[in-house]
Amino acid sequence: MFTSNPFAELSTFISPTIMQTYVVVMILLVVAGTLFDIIHKQSARYFFNNWRNSKNSAKQQVGGGEMASIAVQTAVVDVMTSGEFCNMRRRIAHLLTMYGFVIYVVTTVIMVFAHPTPATPAPATLAALWYIGALMVCLGGYWFWFFIRVDVAAEGNSPFRFVRADLFVVSLVLSVTFGLLWAYLQTAGNTTWATVFLALYLLATTVLFGSIPWSKFSHMFFKPAAAMQKRVAEANGTRSNLPAPADAPEIYGSALRQPRHY
């Protein structure tokens, strides 16, 4: 099972052209949904305005070399290792899900476009990576959902409680889970149940990529920009949008008040 290309087996019933068209449509949904999210929430204007304000009020200039260093730190610390998470369990779950999702998506695209039929067999390692990526998503996603979420671990809410903010992680985990079940049942020769889980797989995947304006999917594009902006603000002395130090006075409206402790 772990070395078979499920999309090549599916080509017996569904044309590779249809599979490739579906993947292209999902990519277009990601692009369109992200652009809509940026325009609707004015995220791009927000970042550009903050960047300009930070530059204008900078206490010291950030040179090209330092800017390159900041970009590398952002990529390595904030993106590749999720350094913004102080809780180690949360960081590990996030990294498992993130890298699993990347592996899963990349291998899906390669198998669908380069190895869509049994006549164009995929390397066993490529198919294995598809399963490994999917299992990483399930491990990180379910670990987060049932044991790490703040409203479950700290607030005692039911792990089955669902709000709109959960749309991304739920649709992602369900999509990958249904995909694994479909691949297993297809390999086992259980045509009826394989068809059922294929339909569920396509439904969950369509929701995942089609619900970007209402989910947190686009945050994966915004977070690196926000992390970069934060590091630049710290370097030029403006510390834009960072919380005030604990011993600093808080400002409520136009009144200056010392923070209260309860």
Summarised one tens digit per residue, pLDDT across range 39-76 is: 766 666 666 666 676 666 767 777 778 778 877 877 77
Q: What is the DSSP letter of 122?
A: P
Residues facing residue 132 across a β-bridge: none
Whether the CB-CB separation of 225 and 79 falls below 8 Å is answered with no
Count the alpha carbons within 13 Å of 57 in the hemisphere toward its beta carbon: 12
Copy the structure tokens of residue 136. Answer: 């990483």
Helix (H, G, I), strand (E, B) or coil at 13: coil
What backbone phi and psi angles, to 5 degrees, belong to 242? -90, 150
| pLDDT of amino acid 69 | 81
Q: What's the CA gap between 198 and 195, in Å, rounded? A: 5
Q: What's the CA gap between 204 and 179, in Å, rounded? A: 9
Q: What percent of the chain has pLDDT over 90?
A: 46
Question: Which residues are CB-neighbours of 66 under 8 A, at least 6 positions away?
Answer: 235
Q: What's the CA gap between 167 and 102, in Å, rounded? A: 19
State mean pLDDT over 190-206: 96
| pLDDT of amino acid 244 | 43
| pLDDT of amino acid 246 | 38
Summarised one tens digit per residue, pLDDT across range 72-93 is: 877 777 777 776 777 788 889 9
DSSP 175-199: HHHHHHHHHHHHHHT-HHHHHHHHH
State mean pLDDT over 197-218: 90
Whether pTM exceeds 0.75? yes
